């Protein structure tokens, strides 16, 4: 069972519900490699019936066609959707356009009446989904603390990103309980669950299983190992560890180290553009 819901997340959820009254819309950030896994049902209490703009982060880690399918999915559910590779300077400007488009009628009406309408948006998502990197991109400076691990942002921040838009960055929040094991593993694989609370060998074996379902050559070509369809995932992990020198005293394979290596290679995009779900 994968479960990580520290006390600060519950506190954050309650604070977000209170702060949501100040917001006109929500920027819902999801990881491009597993967007559906990033949907937190607890956010329904925060969002209510206000507009949502889904921001698919890290789109450089998936194929363009895959993003188009993700966008079509969210559009079909009545939501705006944009894709961002926030490590590229200025790429998040598309979010500003999406926010203004959402409120175009009200903006035009207020402009005619010479009224300045400040749009306030809350940015939310699971840990390590890319929220703070997006905020920094929008600000053109490192306003929010970022890191390629779960649980970096620990407090809310209001940030002005344009003449008429302010956004509130919030800490990432996971589900109190995972009903879907596949979604839980996806979030663990992409780094939204703290590695320290996981059995990384188990998570790496699940990644191996998923990669082989996509294409067995992903692991074979990257690590120069060979196996057939009957080879156990743990044995494949050991083969990867052996090839990469993950050896401990006595010549044994350090599966923990091999698991970290495999997961880090996946998270950094070294295994290619890989999508973990079905849309």
- pLDDT over 60 (residue 146): no
100 shares a domain with 48:
yes
Q: Kindly report the pTM of this predicted structure.
A: 0.89
How many structural domains does the chain have?
Answer: 2
Q: What is the pLDDT of residue 250?
A: 86
Q: Does residue 86 sit in the same domain as residue 127?
A: yes
Q: What is the pLDDT of residues 149-197, one digit of tens each?
A: 443 344 466 788 877 899 998 889 988 888 889 999 999 999 999 999 8
| Residue 37 and residue 165 share a domain | yes
Same domain, 58 and 155: yes
Residue 261 lies in a domain: yes
Shared-domain flag, residues 254 and 142: no
- Find which of 55-69, 131-145, 159-173 is predicted with most confidence, using mean pLDDT: 55-69
CA distances from residue 24 to 53, 166, 220, 224 in whole angstroms, order as listed: 11, 10, 49, 52
CATH classification at residue 238: 1.10.1580.10
Question: Helix, strand, coil: what percent of the chain each, to 5?
Answer: 45, 15, 40
Question: φ, ψ for residue 182 (rounded to 5)?
Answer: -65, -45
Has residue 51 been placed in a domain? yes
CATH number, domain of 128, equals 3.40.50.300
| Domain limits for position 29 | 7-169
Q: Is residue 192 part of a domain?
A: no
3-state SS class at 249:
helix
274 part of a folded domain: no
């Amino acid at each position: 069972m994968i479960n990580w819901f520290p006390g600060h997340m519950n506190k954050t959820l309650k604070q977000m519900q209170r702060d949501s009254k100040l917001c006109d819309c929500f920027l819902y950030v999801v990881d491009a490699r597993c967007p559906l896994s990033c949907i937190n049902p607890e956010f329904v209490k925060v969002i209510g019936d206000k507009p949502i703009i889904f921001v698919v982060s890290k789109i450089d880690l998936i194929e363009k066609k895959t993003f188009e399918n993700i966008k079509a999915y969210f559009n079909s559910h009545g939501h705006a959707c944009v894709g961002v590779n926030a490590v590229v300077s200025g790429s998040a400007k598309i979010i500003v356009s999406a926010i203004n488009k959402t409120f175009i009628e009200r903006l035009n009406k207020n402009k005619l009446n010479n009224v300045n309408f400040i749009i306030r948006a809350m940015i939310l998502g699971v840990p390590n989904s890319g929220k703070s990197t997006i905020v920094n991109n929008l600000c053109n400076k490192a306003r929010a603390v970022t890191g390629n691990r779960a649980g970096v942002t620990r407090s809310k921040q209001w940030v002005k990103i344009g003449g008429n838009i302010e956004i509130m960055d919030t800490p990432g929040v996971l589900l109190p309980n995972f009903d879907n094991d596949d979604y839980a593993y996806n979030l663990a694989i992409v780094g939204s669950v703290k590695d320290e609370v996981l059995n990384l060998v188990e998570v790496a074996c699940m990644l191996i299983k998923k990669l082989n379902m996509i294409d067995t050559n992903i692991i074979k070509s990257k690590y120069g190992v060979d196996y057939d369809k009957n080879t156990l995932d743990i044995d494949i992990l050991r083969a990867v560890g052996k090839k990469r020198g993950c050896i401990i005293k006595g010549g044994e394979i350090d599966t923990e180290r091999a698991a970290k290596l495999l997961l880090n290679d996946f998270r950094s995009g070294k295994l290619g553009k890989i999508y973990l779900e079905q849309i």
